[in-house]
């Protein structure tokens, strides 16, 4: 069948609706329910400090203290309360910079605890807990938004909630409950994770499975200091000297609650970095990539998990490790899953430092993110041999700072990158406000493909803050 104008209309209409549905969720405030084995090591407390600095971008539905393989017989809700109370002392100053920061009283009311039992011993009859009951209540709310559950420790509170719903409801009601959950687990820190994934095959689940932490995607947050693992990012941004200067010291009561790094900086933070509204993240599409890393949907190979009684293979596809090719700060090429996070490190660390300044500085003394504006962002189509111009000169900065621009093709996020050996895609003047993107006329397509054009706009404030625009470009076969 030749590519007629009618066929072109079908391509364009379908791609328009697909892209509209993905990006419609980007501006909706996500509901978030954290499970944390806080006090097992310092990184959970570190992650909570950062999480609270972004709490105006979330509807925080739960902060639940749990166990894990590293902390099997106790929980530490007291530490959650301690950090939230410190946040309460700076909440009024944070409100000078952005609206929507919840009160400490509200957050304290969302602190719950799971059972002080390990893994699957806390799943089943008689194992309801304050945390699991609260999770059921939150998911059952008359609210169509999904509930994101970042799992920083063991997953048994989630497991118990799912077990109880399955025991007490119809299959249709269970399916409805499961469909509202979005899980991002920081590996498997008890033996309930793989059980959950296999028992509830419709559950949206992001994870680097097992306990092989060194190769897990989330390790890209700052794993060099722990494992001396090479990356192309600036390792100093995840080490104690930088953290003391920018986070811990002279930044008020909340910064003072941030402990020094012992193993790895904020190993749990990737679980919510992808929920931040920065123009890059698309939470419902882990394969698009963003500050929380990039993941693809497939069934991973089975690897026995250390310390776990239940060593079952994955029975279905999950969102798991994906690989990006990134040029590091040292101009070397890195191709691995952790690069999907560390490629953004300078941006998300500067953003963290800027928001920590908000705890103690007036609006005029602090830096704030630029506002990115591109003349065309949705329903973009192109054919081989064509060019498209984009103009971001309408972007502004609330502090009056000057802006720099960088456009690049995030090839792994689309489907067109597989044709890269043709060098088919060009971006002229990639460091200016206006660019031209072209597709080589030699390319022959049998079906529509996509590629992602990313614009990063950075101000010259201190610290410099970056915001993005992601443009999904639909490449259609030539018209004959």
Neighbours of 93 (CB within 10 A): 19
Average pLDDT over residues 80-99: 98
Average pLDDT over residues 453-464: 98
> Is the four-CA dihedral 273, 275, 278, 282 of positive or negative sign?
positive
pLDDT at 10 exceeding the cut of 70: no
Average pLDDT over residues 57-73: 97
Mean pLDDT taken over the chain? 91
Chain centroid offset of residue 47 CA = 13
pLDDT band at 309 (very low <50, low <70, confident <90, very high): low
pTM across the whole model: 0.92
Average pLDDT over residues 365-390: 96
Q: CA-to-CA distance for 274 and 4, rounded, in angstroms?
A: 40
Q: Which carries the bigger pLDDT value, residue 449 or residue 18?
A: 449
pLDDT at 312 exceeding the cut of 90: no
Q: CA-to-CA distance for 458 and 343, rounded, in angstroms?
A: 15
Q: CA-to-CA distance for 129 and 353, rounded, in angstroms?
A: 37
- pLDDT of the residue at 301: 84
Chain centroid offset of residue 191 CA = 24
Q: Which CATH fold would you assign to the domain 28-357?
A: Inosine-uridine Nucleoside N-ribohydrolase; Chain A (3.90.245)
pLDDT at 131 exceeding the cut of 60: yes
- pLDDT of the residue at 186: 97
pLDDT at 365 exceeding the cut of 60: yes
- pLDDT of the residue at 4: 44
Per the CB < 8 A criterion, the answer to whether 435 and 445 are in contact is no
Place of tokens 């060019």: 387
Q: Which carries the bigger pLDDT value, residue 155 or residue 17?
A: 155
Average pLDDT over residues 123-129: 98
pLDDT at 169 exceeding the cut of 60: yes
Neighbours of 145 (CB within 10 A): 14
pLDDT band at 149 (very low <50, low <70, confident <90, very high): very high
Q: Within 13 A of 364's CA, how many CA atoms are on the CB side?
A: 0
Average pLDDT over residues 223-237: 77
Domain boundaries, the chain: 28-357, 368-475
- pLDDT of the residue at 417: 67
385-441 pLDDT per residue, tens: 999 999 999 999 999 999 999 999 999 999 986 554 556 899 999 999 999 999 988
Q: Which CATH fold would you assign to the domain 368-475?
A: Immunoglobulin-like (2.60.40)
pLDDT band at 347 (very low <50, low <70, confident <90, very high): very high
- pLDDT of the residue at 313: 83
Place of tokens 């064509």: 386
Percentage of the chain lying above the pLDDT 70 cut: 90
- pLDDT of the residue at 231: 85
pLDDT band at 171 (very low <50, low <70, confident <90, very high): very high
- pLDDT of the residue at 423: 62
235-289 pLDDT per residue, tens: 999 999 999 999 999 999 999 999 999 989 999 999 999 999 999 999 999 999 9
- pLDDT of the residue at 225: 58
């Amino acid at each position: 069948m030749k590519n007629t104008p009618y066929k072109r209309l079908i391509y364009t209409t379908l791609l328009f609706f697909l892209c509209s549905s993905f990006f419609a969720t980007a501006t909706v405030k996500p509901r978030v329910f954290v499970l944390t084995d806080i006090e097992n090591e310092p990184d959970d407390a570190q992650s909570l400090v950062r999480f609270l600095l972004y709490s105006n971008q979330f509807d925080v539905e739960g902060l639940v203290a749990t166990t894990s393989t590293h902390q099997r017989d106790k929980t530490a809700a007291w530490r959650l309360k301690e950090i939230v109370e410190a946040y309460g002392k700076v909440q009024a100053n944070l409100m000078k910079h952005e609206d929507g920061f919840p009160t400490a009283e509200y957050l304290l009311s969302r602190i719950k605890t799971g059972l002080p039992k390990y893994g699957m011993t806390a799943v089943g009859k008689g194992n309801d807990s304050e945390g699991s009951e609260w999770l059921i209540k939150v998911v059952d709310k008359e609210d169509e938004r999904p509930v994101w559950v970042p799992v920083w420790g063991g997953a048994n509170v989630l497991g118990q909630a799912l077990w109880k719903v399955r025991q007490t409801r119809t299959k249709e009601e269970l399916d409805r409950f499961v469909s509202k959950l979005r899980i991002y687990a920081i590996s498997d820190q008890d033996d309930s994770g793989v059980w959950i994934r296999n028992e509830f095959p419709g559950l949206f689940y992001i994870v680097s499975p097992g306990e092989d932490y060194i190769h897990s995607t989330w390790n890209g947050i700052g794993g060099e200091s722990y494992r001396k693992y090479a990356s192309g990012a600036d390792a100093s941004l995840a080490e104690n000297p930088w953290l003391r200067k920018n986070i811990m010291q002279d930044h008020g009561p909340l910064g003072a609650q941030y402990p020094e790094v012992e193993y790895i900086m904020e190993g749990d933070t990737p679980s919510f970095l992808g929920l931040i509204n920065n123009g890059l993240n698309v939470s419902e599409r882990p394969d698009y990539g963003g500050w929380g890393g990039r993941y693809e949907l497939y069934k991973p190979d089975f690897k026995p998990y250390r310390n776990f009684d239940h060593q079952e293979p994955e029975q279905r596809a999950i969102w798991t490790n994906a690989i990006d090719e990134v040029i590091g700060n040292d101009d070397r090429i890195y191709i691995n899953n952790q690069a999907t996070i560390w490629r953004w490190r300078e941006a998300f660390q500067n953003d963290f430092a800027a928001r920590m300044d908000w705890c103690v500085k007036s609006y005029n003394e602090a830096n704030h993110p630029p506002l990115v504006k591109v003349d065309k962002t949705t329903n973009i189509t192109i054919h081989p041999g064509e060019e498209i111009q984009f103009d971001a000169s309408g972007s502004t900065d609330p502090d009056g700072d000057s802006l720099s621009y960088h456009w690049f093709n995030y090839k792994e996020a689309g489907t067109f990158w597989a044709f890269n050996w043709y060098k088919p895609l060009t971006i002229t003047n990639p460091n200016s406000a206006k660019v031209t993107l072209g597709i080589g006329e030699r390319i022959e397509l049998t079906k529509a493909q996509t590629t992602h054009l990313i614009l990063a706009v950075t101000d010259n404030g201190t610290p410099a803050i970056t915001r993005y625009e992601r443009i999904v470009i639909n490449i259609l076969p030539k018209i004959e």
